[in-house]
Structure 1
Amino acid sequence: MSHRTAVVNRIGLALVGLILLVAGAAALARGLGLASGLLGSRTSPVVSKAIAAYTARNSWFWPALAIVALLVTLLALRWLLHQARTGTIRYVNLEPDPGHGATHLSSRAAAAALEDDVADSVHQEGAARSERVHATLDGAPSAPHLALAVVLPDRADPTAARHGIQRAVDRLRRSLETDRLPATVQMHTTRTH
């Protein structure tokens, strides 16, 4: 999930939560008779006579309300299913032309090989060996995107580490026989003493 999507999700959930909190507090206040002047007494009907008369005159109202409720439910379900997706792909297409057949490589195998290669390449560049390397491939199987996170000890040379990472990513591009493999690389340091 991208950073922008996460921010939009947090803002949306905060707004929905705030609306539900206010509605719940209003219902509780009305039920306890604390806000009888503002919300009506606890014995008064929830729906006013004007609204009840409007719904009685317009037979389309309740079916339209049911359709809107169904659409809101389907959108909420779609959003929930989208949250459950990790975005990673299961395989990478190695054959660009489907007319020549299909050759797939497990994305987890490619990511694991890259993790080992990055750890070795960073060390060969003279930087201290990386503490942790995590790689994932997401996007479409025919156009994957690489996300790479490398944790280095605080004594590591970031320039040397970057060169080692670049060479490892270039080798993965050649292995996948692609000129284009967009990559997001995050390097962090961790205190070793």
Structure 2
Amino acid sequence: MNRLPAAVHRSTTALLGLVLLVVGAAAIAWNLGVQPVVDWVERIDNDAVGSFADSGWWTLVLAGIVLLTLVWAVPLIVSAVRPGTVDDLELDGSDETGAMSIAPKLIAAAVADELDGEPMFTSVSARALDDRSRRIIRLEATASPERTYPEIAAKVGVVTDQIRDAVDGTDVHVQAFVHLEPRKVPSRR
């Protein structure tokens, strides 16, 4: 998750948690008969609550609370939803208008197919995804432990540069992850 949505989620959770903690502690203290809390609860005028509900401005207050909740909650929900699909990219191309459209998942699939033919990799996957409004082509390659880092970096670096060149001028980010399989230690018997 990007920093801004993550910060908003955490601060919202902290605020709601703090409010619920205070209300819960006050309810427990009132139930146990803790003196200052019991006095505060007894000072509440039950008739005032009814008169507030009957007054005309109370409806406006409730409407304001609903509006504030929607303004606050909708961006939180939207930022948490992860659509996962990336729209087609508009690249400089060869059609009449000078542009062409291509699905990033096709670029990712071509890269995965190219690396999959390399014997040094045991598995290769590439995906185009939308990580909260950040479009990414993510390449993951798993290599056998006998391979050296310079060997792996050379192969992965070439295709990563090819992807960057292909999506130049767009807001697509390229990520490459390399996993090394653990070395198998022969068991001693």
TM-score normalised by the chain length of structure 2? 0.66
Q: Deviations over 1:40-95 (max 9, x none)?
A: 269747x558x86xx69x96565245314422233212211221134541322124
- C-alpha RMSD of the superposition: 4.2
Summarize the Cα distance change of 1:117–1:6 in structure 2 as closer, same or farther, 3 Å threshold.
farther
Summarize the Cα distance change of 1:43–1:12 in structure 2 as closer, same or farther, 3 Å threshold.
closer
Corresponding position of 2:187: none
Identity of aligned residues (%): 16
User: Which of 71, 74, 78 is the aligned partner of 2:75?
Assistant: 78
Q: Confirm or deny that 1:112 pairs with 2:112.
A: no
Summarize the Cα distance change of 1:25–1:152 in structure 2 as closer, same or farther, 3 Å threshold.
farther
Summarize the Cα distance change of 1:8–1:88 in structure 2 as closer, same or farther, 3 Å threshold.
farther
Partner Cα separation in structure 1 for residue 145 and residue 36 of structure 2 = 61
Corresponding position of 2:127: 135
Corresponding position of 1:153: 144
Corresponding position of 1:67: 64
Q: Which runs of 5+ in 2 are unaligned?
A: 185-189
Task: Please give the secondary structure, in 1, of the residue aligned with 2:32.
Answer: coil
Partner Cα separation in structure 1 for residue 107 and residue 32 of structure 2 = 63
Partner Cα separation in structure 1 for residue 88 and residue 145 of structure 2 = 35
